[in-house]
Chains A and B, each alone.
Chain A
């Protein structure tokens, strides 16, 4: 039923190994299944983009990898192994060492994710002291190195700045510096450019790409922006209704989308050669209610190709090409009707 989307033999040497990851939010009248069985692997140094709209479960998946969801109100199931550690079984101490040490996260809005009453340099030093038992002075020295690494101008002076004294782009650079403070192997980025101006977005994306290559970081990038996903990631996983509906190399998923949802997503964006005044295509309907999900394919109620077999259960993954798979029972038709394949 929940077979991995990638060939299982690749799992052994993977840095990140996720199988049948489920996340339920409790506390309401009915538990809400925000993530309904996600599988993926990521090798050291690779970049994966989780692409999807709001409520598709992409941010929840990311937070589950770090167990950042409120423990009392969530239940995480399945297997998450990162760098050989069974993340879901980690005790309090090893979890604290894992967070920031093995895996680090950068957040959507750096203006909210940095403590407003601490100097930025001190916030970075704090992480270094915590993980490496180093002195505070050593932590500050590391912070200075990192500020230079992420190209913050006059870095020594900025260390003593408070978050509100910096611009948005500068704050996100500082956030990246903070994330890199303890040399993590995996960087989780939760829509890191959404809160920024368009021109600053590109700089941050280029910086992340540069750091990923230079430091051999594995990066999981959550975004709703197809353009961003292609910019930063080698592979793209499209998420819908708590499931990975399509996974493959970025160019392939964007160039020859196999799943009708991916199709719809691509058809609804503007490209440089879209004519002026073009009405954007939309996907009719709205995302499924996760407290009461459709019985079969989560996209079936909105899908133009929906047929009775779609309602029978979650579609199996179907390989479209090596390393490219989708969960759709009508993959042939979807491909055939692809405007992008024709273009």
Chain B
């Protein structure tokens, strides 16, 4: 198992390198000069050249990439043009906020998704199945920013139970696990959980339906197992796929939640990306994307390892 994990990490290295290259090139592929955002409109050619040299933009591309990568490996993602603070600290804070939101949302989504999925899979074609499936289809198809706004209208504007935006009192940018901060987490987490709930529920329903029709389930009954005993076997058979889907969903939510984070002004990566794009803050954009991409690579690695540990049919070679 250990050699498998090490090998799998070794395979992830070239992927990570490729990702870093794409991130680096983003700056140069984007239309417009990266300097135009910080230079005054009437800057002289001399000033431009000076700035270009200061940011290292006058060197050939491969050299720039090498220098940039070397810095990145040392944990230096550059300085945000808009705020003048190091990108790493900005991204780090946003990532931790997003990670909390995405994990809680995935956990809620996974719990309800597997529950509805098992109910629907066991009771296929009954009204229970149709009800659970309807909830799942609602989850994958409802526009989540709209759902967020509706929830805010009901629970904040009308009932006044929960705060509508932010991660904590007085615009606190750092989420902290206490009762006050927890209240801020409820609405965005529920809004976000609807997507993985729907996806996981559909997947688990199909999985359970398929497993229940396999011969070995009949064989398990034939050896006298109780329905609960059979259920345990069904769970273990469904687990590898369900966990893989959960991991991928977590990855999507980490990076792809711009809309929800913007609706709730949640100071996470989506919110940060949004700000970086509109302010043409290229170092910040580059750093954020790189960190998110690395998250995806790591998450895929974790999913692979967990799946292999659970399903003996996956080769450990």
A residues in contact (CB < 8 Å) with B = 66, 68, 96-101, 104-105, 107, 109, 112-119, 126-127, 130-131, 162, 164, 175, 178-179, 181-182
Contact = CB atoms under 8 A, between A and B. Distances in A.
B237 interface: yes
Contacts of B310: 117
B237 to A, nearest CB: 6
B312 A114 contact: no
Contact of B216 (A114, A131, A182): A114
Contacts of B312: 116-117, 119, 162, 164
Contacts of A119: 312
B33 interface: no
Contacts of B229: 126, 130
B226 interface: yes
Given A115-B237, A117-B312, A99 B222 contact: yes
A66 B218 CA distance: 11
B223 A104 contact: yes
Given A112-B214, A162-B313, A117 B236 contact: yes
B7 interface: no
B219 interface: yes
Given A97-B224, A131-B224, A162-B313, A113 B219 contact: yes
The 3 closest A-B pairs by CB, nearest first: A100-B224, A112-B215, A100-B223
Interface in B200-221: 214-216, 218-221
Given A116-B237, A117-B237, A118-B233, A101 B216 contact: no
Given A96-B226, A126-B225, A130-B225, A116 B220 contact: no
A112 B313 CA distance: 14
Nearest to A179: B223
Contact of B223 (A99, A109, A112): A99
Nearest to A109: B215
Contacts of B58: none
Nearest to A162: B312
Contacts of B225: 96, 100, 126-127, 130
A178 B236 contact: no
A107 B313 contact: no
Given A130-B229, A162-B313, A115 B224 contact: no
B242 to A, nearest CB: 13
A130 B233 contact: no
Secondary structure at chain B's binding surface: helix, strand, loop or mixed?
helix
B215 A113 contact: yes
Contacts of B236: 115, 117-118
B312 to A, nearest CB: 4
Interface string B230-250: 000100110010000000000
Contacts of A118: 233, 236
B233 A115 contact: yes
B180 interface: no
A157 to B, nearest CB: 15
Contacts of B218: 68, 107, 113
10 contacts: A68-B218, A100-B225, A115-B219, A116-B313, A117-B236, A117-B240, A117-B311, A127-B223, A130-B225, A131-B224
B313 A105 contact: no
Contacts of A99: 221-224
A182 B236 CA distance: 24
A105 B233 CA distance: 19
B224 A113 contact: no
Contacts of A68: 218, 221-222
Given A118-B233, A130-B229, A162-B313, A112 B224 contact: no
Nearest to A93: B226
A66 B310 CA distance: 32
Nearest to A69: B218
B240 to A, nearest CB: 8
Given A117-B313, A164-B313, A112 B216 contact: yes
A68 B216 CA distance: 12
Contacts of B222: 66, 68, 99-100, 104-105
Contacts of B223: 99-100, 104, 126-127, 130, 178-179, 181-182
A165 to B, nearest CB: 8
Contact of B219 (A97, A101, A114): A114
A330 B229 CA distance: 52
A107 B216 CA distance: 9
B2 to A, nearest CB: 19
Interface string B181-216: 000000000000000000000000000000000111
Contacts of B240: 117
Nearest to A112: B215
Given A107-B215, A113-B216, A114-B219, A130 B224 contact: yes
Given A100-B223, A162-B312, 8 more contacts: A68-B218, A99-B221, A99-B222, A100-B224, A117-B237, A118-B233, A164-B312, A178-B223
Contacts of A98: 224
Nearest to B234: A115
Nearest to A66: B222
A187 B225 CA distance: 17
